[in-house]
Amino acid sequence: MKQTQVPESSDIKALFNKIAPVYDNLNNWLSLGQHRVWKLMAVKWCQPSPEDIALDVCCGSGDITELLAKQIPQGKVFGVDFAKSQLEIAKEKATQKYPHLPITWIEADALNLPFEDNYFDCATMGYGLRNVKDIPACLVELHRVLKPGAKAAILDFNHPDGEYLLEFQKWYLNNIVVSVAEYFNQKEEYAYINPSLDRFPKAQEQIEIAKAAGFDGVCHYPIVAGMMGVLVVTKWS
């Protein structure tokens, strides 16, 4: 894995606050709307039940939080992010579209979650693990707040197998993604994706880090020809 310098948490927070106004539009453009399918897959892999207490960490503008809350009508869902602008948009969207959903929005860091041990029945994370300052510490913290038997599903970019797919992914990120982002005046912010993926652990490394964090049942599922992936972890004890 290519080693690149990890940005400071304050820099990542500033980046996500800045892109917040165009974040949803860019996701739709860049994935041709398919990001909704991938997010729903992550929600289903964490196996929510109607009365669960659930966590969506690094919730961004709240897409996965909403999908999770729809599966938990008698429970409670917490959407957590450290980017205030993203949370404000998430709350406004949910209030307008789904005022009945049981969602609480909290500004907090994924490395220091403001919850008791063994609190959540399930959890999700979308495009957050790649951006935290300390991936092992993030997974340790996620393990801490989950109840025994709870599952978490973590969606993010992935390193595809095969030189052709890897080169296509790099070309797409450097040319299509950056070009579209430039139209929204966010070129530099989205040029960040490729180097963040360079330093992101590969699937087997993610599995090993999750096991070291205390998770027992750990699987990684490649999707979109391996260019995306979902890490599914279970806390048995």
Q: What is the pLDDT along the chain (237 residues), one digit of tens a residue?
A: 344 456 677 778 888 888 888 888 878 877 878 999 999 999 999 999 999 999 999 999 999 999 999 999 999 999 999 999 999 999 999 999 989 999 999 999 999 999 999 999 999 999 999 999 999 999 999 999 999 999 999 999 999 999 999 999 999 999 988 888 888 888 887 888 989 999 999 999 999 999 999 999 899 999 999 999 999 999 998
* 3-state SS, residue 224: coil
Instruction: Pick the closest to residue 150 from 178, 105, 189, 119 (CA basis).
Output: 119
Q: Which two tokens stand for residue 3?
A: 């080693």
pLDDT value for 18: 85
* Pairing status of strand 217-223 against strand 146-157: unpaired
Query: pTM for the whole thing?
Result: 0.91
CA distance 94 to 99: 6
Go through the domains of the chain in sequence order and give each one's CATH number: 9-234 (3.40.50.150)
pLDDT value for 3: 42
pLDDT value for 185: 86
Please report the DSSP string for 41-107 in residue order. HHHHHT---TT-EEEEET-TTSHHHHHHHHT-TTSEEEEEES-HHHHHHHHHHHHHH-TTS-EEEEE
Per the CB < 8 A criterion, the answer to whether 20 and 89 are in contact is: yes
pLDDT value for 4: 45
